[in-house]
Amino acid sequence: MSDWPLLSLIVWLPIAGGAAVLLAGERRANLARWIGLLTALVTFVLSLPLYQLFDRETAQMQFEELSPWVATFNLNYHLGIDGISLPLILLTTFISVLVVLGAWGPIKQKVAQYVAAFLILEGLMVGVFCALDAFLFYVFFEAMLIPMFLIIGVWGGPNRVYATIKFFLYTFLGSVFMLVALVYLYLKADSAAILTLHDVSLSLTEQVWIFLAFLLAFAVKIPMFPVHTWLPDAHVEAPTGGSVILAAIMLKIGGYGFLRFSLPITPDASSTLDWLLITLSLIAVVYIGFVALVQQDMKKLIAYSSISHMGFVTLGLFIAFAIFARAEANAGAAMGFEGAVVQMVSHGFISAALFFCVGVMYDRIHSRQIADYGGVVNTMPWFATFMVLFAMANSGLPGTSGFVGEFMVILASFQANFWFAFLAGMTLILGAAYSLWLVKRVIFGDVGNEKVAGLSDINAREAITLGALAVAVLGVGIWPDPLVDIMHASVENLLTHIAQPKI
């Protein structure tokens, strides 16, 4: 099995499956669903050997595939993964299965196109995580926008046009600057191989400009304050599956971009501008935490909570330079990096779970307003159990995955500066406040109204979805070492690389 082109399979199988679903046509909706589910499942199963066969001892790219793509410009179809991209790929294939399973739910029209959009999106997202050629990465990065645009635009809510345009313009604006930076780097290095770009020497001025161009692209994606306002709108209008993919995976591409491009290509600029990134991250944690507290719309609340949680990712990455500068700090930089990746994976599970939860309620009552609920536990006890679990995970309860990343990043940021840890630690209070206040208003209490009184508990499909996520959330929370273990070599390598000035 080790000589199979596993990465290509995982990229192209879903895309081929998507095409097949489209061919199956709209009239045979169930066939489309089954093909879709089967494709997603096979893709997931194919991604598991990646973990099994992965060599933890080396920081080299593994499962590499290299063949000429545009020979004239020396562009290659070049795939490969290290310990940073592997967890994100597994996350993508796992969540995609659950999303396709969701096609049995409320989607009644254009089912085939819906399933196809998600499958194609899955392939493209995996492509982003394993592309080792800068332009191949860019193609995947941009192509990904199209299915997402369609998902929100076609199956979205009433205000979907505003949301899609905002989403598209925001992300597109960012990525245009990234393209400019990539072209500049390509000309400078005469290669588009990302690993070669890591070693290209650049003056500080060059680095700062390139860093800022990347920053625009990735800050919008992740999203960071103040370019985050597209996210709540996009989430509110997106169908459940769209929200899940958006929160669970697409946001991670921003964090991945920092790890793969910004930090290694422009280490000195990253070091010079780390104060900016740290400030914005801490604003995300605190400012957005307060904003999340007062949301009336459940999806908006979770969207804001996502922004706040992603603040930990950027914080974990950019405190590294401050830690390097302190003699007494012990290995906090690695903890910050690994914490950031764990936070990405964990947030993938938890945000997906919370959006599925909102979807479960929305399918029944057709409202996302908190005020329209109350006392859901009376009619949906099993659902309430899951919702409380995921809300607790969202507030970082130990034993759930939500704790691990935050814990690591807070411990690491203390090594950089007491006040970083102080502000980041505010999430302990704010995260619990908005998550559990939501639970109090929606889940607990006496039956709120007649609609709540008529609710029926989750069905088998919903139970499988939420159950799988619960297992993931608890598994990572109780024993995160298998997840973190695969990152060590790559993170060490990356840290050594960025600690060396390029100028």
Partner 1 sequence: MENQLLAIALAPLFGAIVAGLFGRQIGRAGAHWITILAVAVSTVLSLDVLRRFLFEDMEPFNQNVYTWLESGGISFSIGFLVDKLTAVMMSVVTFVSLMVHIYTIGYMKDDPGYQRFFAYISLFTFSMLMLVMANNFLQLFFGWEAVGLVSYLLIGFWYKKPTAIFANLKAFLVNRVGDFGFLLGIAAVLLYFGTLDYQQVFDTAPGLSGATIEIFEGKPWNLMTVVCILLFIGAMGKSAQAPLHVWLPDSMEGPTPISALIHAATMVTAGIFMVARMSPLFELTETALSFVLVIGAITAFFMGLIGIVQNDIKRVVAYSTLSQLGYMTAALGASAYSAAVFHLMTHAFFKALLFLGAGSVIIALHHQQDMRNMGGLRKYMPITWITGIIGTLALIGFPGFSGFYSKDAIISAVSTIDRAGAGFAQWMLVAGVFVTALYSFRLLYLTFHGETRMDEETRSHAHESPWVVTVPLVLLAIPSVGISWWAAEPMLFGDFWGQAIVMEHDSLAHLREIWTGPLGFALHGFVTLPVWLALAGAGLATYIYLFNPGIADRIQGALKPLHTLLDRKYWFDEIYQALFAGGSRLLGKGLWKGGDEALIDGLVVNGSARTVGWLSGVVRWLQTGRLYTYAFAMIIGLIAMLGAFVLWAR
Q: Contact positions toward partner 1, by CB under 8 A? A: 166, 170, 226, 229, 287, 290-295, 328-335, 338-339, 375, 377-378, 388, 392, 397-399, 403-404, 407-408, 410-412, 414-415, 418-419, 421-422, 425-426, 428-429, 432-433, 436-437, 440, 443-446, 479-481, 484-485, 488
Q: Which is nearer to partner 1, 191 or 394 (CB)?
A: 394
Q: Which is nearer to partner 1, 103 or 376 (CB)?
A: 376
Contact predicate 373/452, CB 8 Å: yes
CB of 262 to partner 1, least distance (A): 21
Nearest CA-CA partner of 406 in 341, 320, 328, 496: 341
Q: Which is nearer to partner 1, 273 or 392 (CB)?
A: 392
The Cα angle at residue 100 between residues 151 and 1, in degrees rounded to 5: 120
Q: Which is nearer to partner 1, 131 or 393 (CB)?
A: 393
2 secondary structure, DSSP code: T
Q: Which is nearer to partner 1, 184 or 290 (CB)?
A: 290
Instruction: Answer left, alpha or beta for residue 417, where phi above 0 means left and psi between -120 and 50 means alpha.
Output: beta
Contact predicate 6/50, CB 8 Å: yes
CB of 292 to partner 1, least distance (A): 8
CB of 440 to partner 1, least distance (A): 5
Q: What is the CA radius of gyration of the chain?
A: 22
CB of 377 to partner 1, least distance (A): 6
For 205, residues 6+ apart whose C-beta sits below 8 A from its C-beta are none
Both tokens assigned to 304: 């804001």
Q: Which is nearer to partner 1, 206 or 233 (CB)?
A: 233
- Measure Cα distances from 337 to 198, 233, 317 in Å: 18, 30, 5
Q: Which is nearer to partner 1, 49 or 425 (CB)?
A: 425
CB of 488 to partner 1, least distance (A): 8
- How many angstroms separate the CA atoms of 383 and 62, rounded? 41
- Measure Cα distances from 83 to 63, 89, 284, 341 in Å: 12, 10, 27, 10
Nearest CA-CA partner of 364 in 455, 448, 463: 455
Q: How many CA atoms lie within 13 A of 129 on its CB side?
A: 29
CB of 474 to partner 1, least distance (A): 12
Q: Which is nearer to partner 1, 68 or 226 (CB)?
A: 226
* Phi–psi pair at 75, nearest 5 degrees: -100, 140
Q: How many CA atoms lie within 13 A of 138 on its CB side?
A: 22
Q: Which residues pair with 65 in a beta bridge?
A: 79
Q: Which is nearer to partner 1, 200 or 436 (CB)?
A: 436
Contact predicate 231/286, CB 8 Å: no
The gap between the terminal CA atoms of the chain, to the nearest Å, is: 44
CB of 76 to partner 1, least distance (A): 34
Contact predicate 249/344, CB 8 Å: no
Query: Omega before 226 cis (within 30°)?
Result: yes
CB of 328 to partner 1, least distance (A): 7
Both tokens assigned to 138: 């860019």
CB of 28 to partner 1, least distance (A): 39
For 35, residues 6+ apart whose C-beta sits below 8 A from its C-beta are 17, 20, 21, 24, 115
Q: Which is nearer to partner 1, 25 or 454 (CB)?
A: 454
CB of 501 to partner 1, least distance (A): 22
CB of 361 to partner 1, least distance (A): 17
> What count of other Cβ atoms lies within 10 Å of the Cβ of residue 204?
16
Q: Which residues pair with 79 in a beta bridge?
A: 65, 131
Q: Which is nearer to partner 1, 255 or 396 (CB)?
A: 396
Query: Which residue in this structure is represented by tokens 């982003």?
Result: 128
Q: Which is nearer to partner 1, 15 or 484 (CB)?
A: 484
- Max intra-chain CA distance, the chain: 69
Q: Which is nearer to partner 1, 371 or 503 (CB)?
A: 371
CB of 29 to partner 1, least distance (A): 35
- How many angstroms separate the CA atoms of 494 and 496, rounded? 5
CB of 259 to partner 1, least distance (A): 16
